[in-house]
Structure 1
């Protein structure tokens, strides 16, 4: 069961600075070309684009001159299926385990009609996330939309248990024009499965030969600097490639209720020259354990590290 928490606005602000060491754990998996190498951990898959609804230009005219990830700021913890007249609807209350399966959903507006016009945020009109209740099995997808407003997210294999599906979007018209929303619905995957404990804390971790070090001390409901450093074979990595118009994509889910938060680096994007340090503004709405999923790209390959962050 998922317990809703008060809505808190998601922000990404330029606030880099000197930070102190923070205990984190990173249990990582990588994917190549958007396909995961581990079942149920599809972190960057993108579906083919619908010519009428999901074009993905690299820039949106409304975000010119802004820092990467600063064009839209979503409010709320994502645990509600409806907000300000917008509603996430789906007939998929359950999904099968062990094979790829589509999840179809619609966003309706205050007039109760399907929304079909969405603004571009980080090169996509819709960001979709699936997370298991124990904060495993994370998937980050970019679904396609049919002319009638029905979106389809092609999920990788799901393990049995309780899952939550999140849709992150910004209407391009109507009452919610320019406002970022994160809405979600629960889904059951029948079968025998067990809850995995959240890993203990650590300050560094390795993923695909890269060493990731995290520094910072976020406090609940407050903005604090967070710095991620990337090295390989003891040398600083300066060849990070842009991914969704940033050098790293960072999504967080809260232990116990899977509340959602989305953070972006404040580092300026300059071709394939990212790293070794990436600065974030960390604003997490509640104390406790948060599971962070950091995605970054090198040599055309997407790497995903899972981080456990204790927030005071």
Structure 2
């Protein structure tokens, strides 16, 4: 039998241990509540998000790569009341074709006033679902707001047509929009495997090298170097107001990203190194298309970049 004195002592030890454990749990809870506000993937109330300062980390709803990001990756025909419309659901295979479309504003009327972006009122891209057949053209607009994009020969398959624009009037004035629709080109659509990620590629005798390891959803500098015959190229000519134009598409869904140049063009002596601001929203393989000009000729180099 345990004596009453020993039993009382044992109960005191157990009580003290329980109090210590409760205190530890309380402290841990306090610590985790302050840490979780900066931890990605946590569910925070709208009240705490609204009260956060502008310098605080963005909430999940503001993070690139989240669900609402579809309005910025070009995979929708509408955004903020602006809509890309077209009667062209198919285009012919193996020959030149014109894709006709309109962009309407929140009032439902065709938009006709656009701001210049890299010297053009509209940049239009056509890309096949396997990220081949890239075309970048500058369509023309009729007085009624109907645009016509003249495309060269298209191979059979599913294509996505992107319109990159900036309204110069209305509620979306000064805001960049990328809207898109899909088009079918009838015929035997053989899929081409995406080339493996590589640091460099060849085009028209030029070697194009991409330097940088961007992470998904994070701003990251990217450098492109151009050489020919083993020598740095220094005779790049201005193209669309800069020395190179860089566009990227995501493998699998063809999400769009335009990498903005930070190297200013001044005369016909650009190169060999060109800097870009890269912010690719999702991880995976991205197909980069670099366009640059020398001797009055436009070159288009393509390389696959892996984003972690």
Fold shared, TM-score > 0.5 on shorter chain: yes
Question: Does structure 1 conserve the Cα–Cα contact (< 8 Å) formed by 2:162 and 2:179?
Answer: yes
The 5 Å alignment of 1:1-312 reads 6-8=67-69, 76-312=72-308
| Equivalent-residue separation in structure 2 for 1:93 and 1:7 (angstroms) | 26
Considering fraction of residues, name the structure with more helix: 2
TM-score norm. by structure 1 comes to 0.76
Cα deviation, residue 7, structure 1: 4.9
SS at 1:231 equivalent = strand
Cα deviation, residue 280, structure 1: 1.1
What is the count of residue pairs matched by the alignment? 244
Bigger drift between 80-89 and 192-201 goes to: 192-201
SS at 2:261 equivalent = coil
| Equivalent-residue separation in structure 2 for 1:101 and 1:281 (angstroms) | 33
Give per-residue Cα distances to partners, 1:185-231, cap 9 Å, x unaligned. 01111111211110012222221111111110000000111111111
Cα deviation, residue 6, structure 1: 3.5
| Equivalent-residue separation in structure 2 for 1:190 and 1:135 (angstroms) | 17
Question: Does structure 1 conserve the Cα–Cα contact (< 8 Å) formed by 2:219 and 2:277?
Answer: yes
Question: Does structure 2 conserve the Cα–Cα contact (< 8 Å) formed by 1:171 and 1:179?
Answer: yes
SS at 1:131 equivalent = strand
Cα deviation, residue 264, structure 1: 2.1
Question: Does structure 2 conserve the Cα–Cα contact (< 8 Å) formed by 1:170 and 1:179?
Answer: yes
Question: Does structure 2 conserve the Cα–Cα contact (< 8 Å) formed by 1:246 and 1:264?
Answer: no
TM-score norm. by structure 2 comes to 0.77
Question: Does structure 2 conserve the Cα–Cα contact (< 8 Å) formed by 1:163 and 1:188?
Answer: yes
Give per-residue Cα distances to partners, 1:34-61, cap 9 Å, x unaligned. xxxxxxxxxxxxxxxxxxxxxxxxxxxx
Give per-residue Cα distances to partners, 1:40-95, cap 9 Å, x unaligned. xxxxxxxxxxxxxxxxxxxxxxxxxxxxxxxxxxx700001000000000000111
Cα deviation, residue 102, structure 1: 0.8
| Equivalent-residue separation in structure 2 for 1:295 and 1:281 (angstroms) | 16
Question: Does structure 2 conserve the Cα–Cα contact (< 8 Å) formed by 1:126 and 1:169?
Answer: yes
| Equivalent-residue separation in structure 2 for 1:194 and 1:131 (angstroms) | 15
Cα deviation, residue 5, structure 1: 7.0
Specify the alignment match of 1:39 in structure 2: none
SS at 2:92 equivalent = coil
Cα deviation, residue 296, structure 1: 0.4
Question: Does structure 2 conserve the Cα–Cα contact (< 8 Å) formed by 1:248 and 1:264?
Answer: no
Question: Does structure 1 conserve the Cα–Cα contact (< 8 Å) formed by 2:198 and 2:303?
Answer: no
| Equivalent-residue separation in structure 2 for 1:289 and 1:153 (angstroms) | 28
